[in-house]
Structure 1
Amino acid sequence: MRAVVRWWLGGRVRGVLSAALVLVLAGAGLVGYRLMGFGGGHSCAPPLELRLLTDPDLESTVRAAADAYLTSDANTTGHGCRRTGITVYSAGASSAVTALRQQTDAWQEPREEDTNPQRDIGPQPDVWIPASITDVARVTTDQTDRTFAELRPDAEPFVYSPVVLAVPQNIAGAALGERIGLPLSRLITNLKQQDRTAGVLRADPEVTDSALLATIGLYGGGATDPRGAEQSVRPTGPPSPTAADLLCALPGDRAADGRTAALVPEFLLRSGVGCARTTRVPRSAEYPVDVPALTPTFVRVHWEGGDRDETDREDAVSRFHQWLTGKDGLAAFTRAGFRSASSPGHPLLDAEHPGTGVLRDPGPLPGAAGQTAMDTVLERYRSANGPGRVLYLLDSSGSMNTRWPGPSGGPGILKQSLGGLGGRDEYGVWAVHGTTGDRYETLLSFGPHRRGDAERVIDTRARVRDAEADPHAALLAALDDMARRGTDDERPQLIVFITDDEDDNRLTGKNLGQVLERAGTAKVPVDMVSLVSGGCDKGRPDARIADASHGRCLDASDDLGTGLHDEVARVGTGED
């Protein structure tokens, strides 16, 4: 939830002012889109302002439609005056559902700092357009008794878009049968067969419905371990908030762009996103049969106590609804690449211009998600994403002597990463040294710790030993230890090994094979942190272990302090 609030309050330009300012300025007709002139010699009164909340993935298209409506004949009086203004804004999809289900009283009158939808989402909406019609049932089922908003949804969605696996064309399936009629797991398996280094990314399921729907497919209807599924789509750094942000970020690494598939709404392959359009790797859509589709739906929101201008407001909403769901309103969705929600087979609204990589007729397409499926997968996603467990292995062999002191030394890098862990996370530190008997020593016992206490223990107890290290034995022990800890839950886990690679001679042949095999089956990512340049070069033990475990390899060519902190923060619940 904190991540969603930070996304909303961050630097992203929003389509809405602060809630208090909106309410003040709306009465003056100064918010959103407003009429600046006169009509037929008549002075135009300030238009009534409607507030429209939508899913972040839909925001740009909904805003384009609202822009067109504002100057349309349907929104103009006989004197040439504008009837209605519209403020379009978006908020995290899970936050919107929670607020409409449980927090409508706080939305009207916030009483607590921690629960303030006006701040975290925006003003009370007159219209809500969720990306899935199922969101309406999620709100109205088990809704709190103290509810001050009544939802009046349309019976059916007004447009449709499947969630697709957008695969770089150079590694996409060539035959039609490789792109349609298969579950997501099979599509990903085929992708890996095309390119062993290929990966899959998905946006944040807390922020957009498209990412949450993709997660239903990733978890395979409950058959797949969520923790393992999350590891398979684990980005470097925090997940992109929206599908458009994800597609914008990929061209930042040309090599990664060419081997990374993205789970995104199909319409983005037609309309694209406002960044790097000419440099992005072209992608082909593959259509998983087990990922529910986007089904945007028009929902009127009636607020208790909002009867001062109730008649005028309801009339304004009805006028906009009639226009939006008709030919003129659907034009924006046609240009964006959406499909028909009502016609058999869900044909593209603009079949003449399908967009690069899009199939005009991909065969039978999935319907909307079930309410239970969305709520269950969100709960499992949250469980698989915190609080976390981290086991640090700190190479304490004699060769580490020159790479020990200061913030760039082994203990210093470890301590920097503790900022990614919170009070509910569990972690421990092993000192790795010795080639006989026990190959490690517990510096910090496994459990929750206050950061200051943990740092003092490390400062006091961590030291270089007059001995070599056995990374083979230490890694096997760590993988076994973490596998046992994760038996009864789906919490995220991570092993971090900080080393100078001087003892890699014990990570060759059979020894390396054993570690790679265990890393591939333990379902615990291993981040290898090499304090020397080239430690993560292709074929090196560190790189192979990280790859086998779905972890990350960092070496001296990276910013080790920041990089490891970000890795740990993806598992933990820390604030900095």
Structure 2
Amino acid sequence: MIDTGDTDTSSNGSSSGNGNGNGGNGRETARPIVSILVALFTGAGISLQQLSTGQPASFARWAMLIGGSLIGGLGGLFAAGLFESLLQWFGQVLGKFRSILRWRALFVGVLCLVALAAGYAVKPAIDSFERWIHGCPRPAGVRVLTSQEQLDAVRQLADAYESATAAANHGCPTAELYVYAARPADARDAIGSGWSNDALGQIGPRPDVWLPDSTADIDAARDAAAKFAVPVPIAEQRIIAASPIVLGVPAAAVPGDLADRREDLTWKQLWDEVTRRGWDVLRPDPSVSGAGALATTVLYDRTHVDGPAARTVEQRIERSLDAGGFPLGDSTELLCRKRAEDPHRAAVLTTEQALVRYNQGLDCGFDQGRPGSEASLVAFYPTDTAGADHPLARLGWDTTAAPSTAAAKDLEGWLGRDEGKRALVRAALRPPPLFDVAEPLTERFGAHAGIAFERRPPPGDLIRTTLQRYAQARRPGRVLLALDVSGSMQTLADGRRTRYEVAASGVGRALDLMSGRDEFGLRVFPADGRGTGSRDIVPLGRADVPISGVPRAKAAIDALGQVRPAGNTPLLPTIADGVRDAAAGKDEQIAGLVVLTDGSDTSGTDPSSVDAQVRGKGVRVFVIAIGEASCGAFALKDITAHTGGACYDADPGAIGDILQDLFGLLWGGEPGNGT
């Protein structure tokens, strides 16, 4: 009995021990698995909470915040209250499936990979669902200011950048670039003055990014800021590309003995060839064009032009502009006119970028296609040429929103990466050195891919000195201003003043730009209340010659104060008569007729007959259309374009600015001497 009891006791003890041993082994085996699960739950919860940093702004972020909190709490619950129960449960399971779980390391690894993959897939899946329900979220808006000459090229870059952000964000762009333009001088003054209300009305909203033609513009803006005693709003700047100043010669006009020397001549040697061969040469106007200012500086400096020599250079350019009826404007306006009609096949002094884009058939707002092989331009690269370096300036206004700032920084970074540099090349710009260029900067489009040049623009002091020399060398103006005084000019323009009063005020501002060498006359139409004809209230004459002892500018302002608008609008006869009278000046003058009107012609004159009368008379016709007037009516665009002028549809508030711009182009010499 004792032996049997001993045996039973031993057996019971052994059975109990085995059971405890199996349970203990199962618990110990399960412990790392449960620990991993707890770590996965807690880590996943923390990760999802981090993804929703800040106040959730969308359904997806609310879902991540709530889901992450629940998962993190569940992990903590497992660790704090259910750990032992889980150990016991897994011990029992492992006891039954011991043979299967011999591969537990592989199982745990697969489980971790599945959890990791799920973690990567959660946000894209939620974002895809949200895009399917609501569409793409609104991208951050970035305002980009550039010059008129760069407008189309920068829009091309903007499209490439927006496409790049969309490709990296499941088809949804993260930024939307609003690209707009201003003349270089206007942009410099606006940024340097802190973007006043005048700049807001004339140009537009404060930009987040400024893409000027060269660092000379940024230096001028800093000088303007010092003058206005305001902080310079430039937060960061960098050079993103460059384009050399070249002479573009029509392919059919390139002589054989120069064809292989396109990169071997200095500017002095090249200009001597231009003079010897009697080539016509065009150049953007330096007063409105960054490319024109840089080209004039390079030409004057490298050919050692002094006062008399500058006049000789300008005479050649002026004759070429007049012969083809070319506008007084920037490189885009000049080359678009050349593409439409240039029987003289003039050479063009401009940037390589403008030349290449001309050969591509770009920048004119309508599809004309590429010019023919004979009309396409071939670039001559003087060995001592300089370039327009193209900077990006990120602006830091106090009111700049954080999303716009982040998007502007991303744009800046993108333009410095290979993808952005390739986009710059496609816009016919050369990124910083050590980046290979390709089409369109190739012989196919008149360029040479491997050219070397000085990438920095001339110093700011040299540019200013050159522009002063240019102002002294350019020919004086002979300008007749014809002002509509029909009854409709009594209509209120701004709630306080009539259209006529606004126009008279704009004329007064523009007269301050006259030099003593300029000639000016003021004419009104209709001549009287019957609504026919026109009459002079200030006859054409030199600005420094008084009228009855009164300075001519003051006499004009006084005469405007005596006019009372009434009658109809004999617009087309006034244009025909004005061109005839303005053409009666000297050869060494630039003649212009500036017409300001608020209505359509009431005379019944055939527009085509007026177009025929004004062509080839050497007088540029400019029309400012306000109110009910339109540049599309009576073929005003054709009449003005065929004379090298232009037609402007304008608000009454913009009259003064347009007149100042026009008279700045037409009048020569130093302003302020005509009173």
TM-score class, shorter: 0.5 to 0.7
**Pairwise CA distance, 1:53:** 0.7
Task: Describe the shift of the 1:422–1:212 C-alpha distance in structure 2 as closer, same or farther (beyond 3 A).
Answer: closer
Which of 264, 267, 270 is the aligned partner of 2:350?
264
Match of 2:152 in 1: 60
Structure 1 Cα separation of the partners of residues 355 and 245 of structure 2: 11
Residue 608 of structure 2: aligned partner:
none
Residue 25 of structure 1 corresponds to which residue in structure 2? none
Q: Which has the higher helix share?
A: 2
Query: For the residues of structure 1 that align with 2:236 and 2:420, how far apart are their CA atoms?
Result: 18
Say if 2:278 is the partner of 1:180: no
**Alignment check: 8 A CA contact 1:162 1:292 kept:** yes
Shift of 1:143: 2.7
For 2:289, the equivalent position in structure 1 comes to 208
Question: Hey, what does 1:136 align to over in structure 2?
Answer: 218
1:300 alignment counterpart: 394
1:246 aligns with 2:334: yes
Find the counterpart in structure 2 of residue 358 from structure 1.
447
Change (3 A) 1:368 1:220: closer
Distance 1:363 1:173 in 2: 23
Give the AA of the match of 2:336: C
2:167 is equivalent to residue 83 of structure 1: no
Rounded to whole Å, the distance in 2 between the matches of 1:206 and 1:445 is: 23
Output the CA distance in 2 between the equivalents of 1:264 and 1:561: 24
In structure 2, what is the equivalent of residue 159 of structure 1?
241
Structure 1's 326 and 231: CA in aligned 2 closer, same or farther, altered over 3 A?
same
Cα RMSD over matched residues? 4.2
Aligned pair partner of 1:48 in 123, 140, 144: 140
For 2:667, the aligned partner's letter is G
Segments of 5+ residues of structure 2 without an aligned counterpart are 1-128, 480-509, 521-539, 547-551, 557-581, 592-611, 623-642, 645-661
Is 1:220 aligned to 2:304, yes or no?
Answer: no
CA distance in 1 between partners of 2:201 and 2:614 (Å): 41
For structure 1, the 5+ residue unaligned runs are: 1-36, 111-115, 392-418, 430-442, 455-495, 500-518, 529-554
What CA deviation, in whole Å up to 9, does each residue of 1:5-36 have, x standing for no partner? xxxxxxxxxxxxxxxxxxxxxxxxxxxxxxxx
Look up the equivalent residue of 1:341 and give its one-letter code: P
Q: Which has the higher contact order (CA 8 A, sep 6+)?
A: 1
1:327 aligns with 2:418: yes
Greater Cα shift, 315-324 or 282-291: 282-291
Alpha-carbon distance between aligned partners in 1 of 2:337 and 2:464, rounded to the nearest angstrom:
28
Report sequence identity in percent.
22
- Is 1:93 aligned to residue 184 of structure 2? yes
Q: Distance in 2 between matches of 1:357 and 1:130?
A: 25
**Aligned amino acid, residue 374 of structure 1:** I
Q: 1:377–1:254: structure 2 CA closer, same or farther, 3 Å change rule? A: closer
Give the TM-score of the pair, scaled to structure 2: 0.50
1:184–1:453: structure 2 CA closer, same or farther, 3 Å change rule? same
Give the one of 219, 237, 253 matched to 1:171.
Answer: 253
Q: Which residue of 1 aligns with 2:432?
A: 341
Shift of 1:427: 6.0
Shift of 1:42: 4.8
Equivalent position amino acid for 1:250 in 2: K
Paired residue secondary structure (2:148)? coil
Distance 2:140 2:615 in 1: 54
Q: Which amino acid aligns with 2:208?
A: D
* Larger of the two Rg values belongs to structure: 2
Change (3 A) 1:246 1:389: closer
Q: Does the CA contact (< 8 Å) of 2:148 and 2:182 recur in 1? A: yes
The code of the aligned residue for 1:525 comes to E
AA in 1 matched with 2:291: S
CA contact (8 A) 1:337 1:349 kept: no
Is this contact kept in 1: 2:242–2:455, CA < 8 A?
Answer: no
Give, as a single letter, the amino acid of the residue that structure 1 aligns with 2:350: V
Instruction: Tell me the matched-pair count.
Output: 388
Change (3 A) 1:176 1:154: farther
Rate the CA distance shift 1:96–1:48 in 2: closer, same or farther, 3 A: same
Q: In the superposition, relative to structure 1, how do residues 444 and 359 fare at CA in structure 2: closer, same or farther (>3 Å)?
A: closer
Q: Does 1:283 find its partner at 2:377?
A: yes
SS of the aligned residue for 2:187 comes to: helix
CA shift digits 1:360-392 (9 cap, x unpaired): 334545533222222332343345458x3769x
CA distance in 2, matches of 1:99, 1:220: 29
Instruction: In structure 1, give the amino acid aligned to 2:314.
Output: E
Q: Aligned AA for 2:194?
A: T
